[in-house]
Chains A and B, each alone.
Chain A
Amino acid sequence: MELSEYVQSGLQTLADSGCFSPSAYTVLLQTAFQSLLNAQADQVALDHPVLKHIDPTVLKHCHAATATCILEAGKHKADKSTISTYLEDCKFDRERIEQFCTEYQKNKDTLEIILGSIGRCPLHITDVSWRLEYQIKTNQLHKTYRPAYLVTLNVENSDSRSHPDVSFSCTMEQLQDFVGKLKDAAKSLERASQM
């Protein structure tokens, strides 16, 4: 893992038990994880009583450094030894390293999900609804008498905002064609996953 000077110095300050008592360390560590993983954590709770006596600038520096370190580890799917080695270089003692790794292990999966969901992708289909109707007549043509389907695909944008749905009408044969092609895709997915 390679991190900037700024991050390294922040972590070194965090490692220093003169600056951060064991309980202060614990609180800062947990706050850093929460601010990354908890969507509602708009206001980072750096105003915990245990952290009150620490200079706010120092607090922000260490918090940012810790968060960056967590993200880098998550991005590269770093294992325990990589993280330990890095923290050792930043002068963390055994106990603090253990604490960090335990906290990281606890939150690793959530972190990966969040990181994996960042990015662009084409409109994403989330659901489908359909309607079957039997057409009887129009003002230009009577006795039409044929079934028709109306299919609506619910789609979402890459930032999970909804987008106007994609709707289309089709005959039974066309719907069979559509479903047939989707089944081909599913079959080839299954084969690929068995390789």
Chain B
Amino acid sequence: MLLVLSEEHKEHLGFLTQVDSAVVGEFGRIAVEFLRKGTNPKIYEGAARKLNVSSDIIQHGVEGLTYLLTEGSKLMISEIDFQDSVLVLGFSEELNKLLLQLYLDNRKEIRSILSELAPKLPSYHSLEWRLDVQLASRSLRQQIKPAVTVKLHLDQNEDQTTKILQTDPATLLHLIQQLEQALGEMKTNHCRRIVRNIK
């Protein structure tokens, strides 16, 4: 699958031919940093002064590069497809190799950043548990009532929440049995076949 680049996009990327490879590498680093932490316009101004061009051109260059990298990572295009997509820009052999390297080096990280944009439910973080035995209460003395108290830590969009829950021994064994069945499902032929065939 090839990346289709618009005319405007190609124009923005055109700026990269006018600078040397160290600068392209630097732009690549800035692009990934912006993906990690958000954009910082001051960087554009600093670079614009150093290279003696307007900051708009720098911004377009970095944004064009960012789009190239994120689209490629999103679609998980192969090396060959990436090279072919970039070929249409008419860059030098050296620049093409640099762009490919930039793509391959950062693809995994960009994909992990993109995966955080998906709709999500709270996810499991960890579990702490405690064994209690209730001995008496206001309404009944001389009891022996075992219970397991758990503290469930969940993550949701960078917030951590905890829930305090309790259960009795019989339910605990039932939970374990049910969830072990759940774990066993991944090993069945049905699931294995699907995992093998959907690529």
B124 touches A185 (CB 8 A): no
A175 touches B182 (CB 8 A): yes
Q: Is B160 an interface residue (CB 8 A)?
A: no
Closest A-chain residue to B111, C-beta based?
A141
B126 touches A179 (CB 8 A): no
Which of A76, A115, A176 neighbours the largest number of chain B CB atoms within 10 Å of its CB? A115
Indicate with 1 or 0, residue by residue over B148-171, a CB within 8 angstroms of chain A CB atoms: 111010100000000111111101
Query: CB within 8 Å of B: which of A41-88?
Result: 74-77
How far apart are the CA atoms of A178 and B176 in the complex, in Å?
9
Apart from A125-B165, A138-B115, A178-B127, list 6 A-B contacts with CB within 8 A: A126-B171, A127-B171, A140-B118, A141-B111, A169-B123, A192-B133
The majority secondary structure among interface residues of chain A is mixed
How far apart are the CA atoms of A192 and B146 in the complex, in Å?
10
Our pick among A153, A170, A179, A193 for the contact of B123 (Cβ within 8 Å) is A170
Query: CB within 8 Å of B: which of A78-102?
Result: none
B140 touches A112 (CB 8 A): yes
Q: Is A167 an interface residue (CB 8 A)?
A: yes
Query: CB within 8 Å of A: which of B93-139?
Result: 111, 114-115, 117-124, 126-129, 131, 133, 137-139
How far apart are the CA atoms of A54 and B68 in the complex, in Å?
94
With a cutoff of 8 Å between Cβ atoms, the chain B residues found around residue A138 in the complex are: 114-115, 117-119
A143 touches B75 (CB 8 A): yes
Closest B-chain residue to A184, C-beta based?
B129
Our pick among A119, A149, A166, A189 for the contact of B139 (Cβ within 8 Å) is A119
Number of B interface residues in the complex (CB < 8 A): 60
Number of A interface residues in the complex (CB < 8 A): 57
Closest A-chain residue to B167, C-beta based?
A125
Q: Is A37 an interface residue (CB 8 A)?
A: no
Q: Say whether, besides A132-B191, A151-B179, A186-B172, A118 and B137 are in contact (CB < 8 Å).
A: yes
- List 23 A–B pairs whose Cβ atoms lie within 8 Å, in order of A's numbering: A112-B140, A122-B166, A123-B166, A124-B166, A124-B168, A134-B194, A138-B115, A138-B119, A140-B118, A141-B114, A141-B115, A141-B117, A143-B199, A147-B186, A155-B165, A169-B124, A174-B124, A175-B182, A178-B179, A182-B175, A182-B179, A185-B129, A188-B131
Q: Say whether, besides A144-B115, A189-B148, A182 and B176 are in contact (CB < 8 Å).
A: yes
Q: Is A172 an interface residue (CB 8 A)?
A: yes
How far apart are the CA atoms of A170 and B168 in the complex, in Å?
24
With a cutoff of 8 Å between Cβ atoms, the chain B residues found around residue A121 in the complex are: 147, 166
Closest A-chain residue to B199, C-beta based?
A145
With a cutoff of 8 Å between Cβ atoms, the chain A residues found around residue B121 in the complex are: 150, 167-169
How far apart are the CA atoms of A20 and B173 in the complex, in Å?
52
Q: Is A142 an interface residue (CB 8 A)?
A: yes
Closest B-chain residue to A111, C-beta based?
B140
How far apart are the CA atoms of A60 and B169 in the complex, in Å?
42
A75 touches B172 (CB 8 A): no
How far apart are the CA atoms of A118 and B143 in the complex, in Å?
13
B131 touches A125 (CB 8 A): no
Q: Is A3 an interface residue (CB 8 A)?
A: no
A116 touches B117 (CB 8 A): no
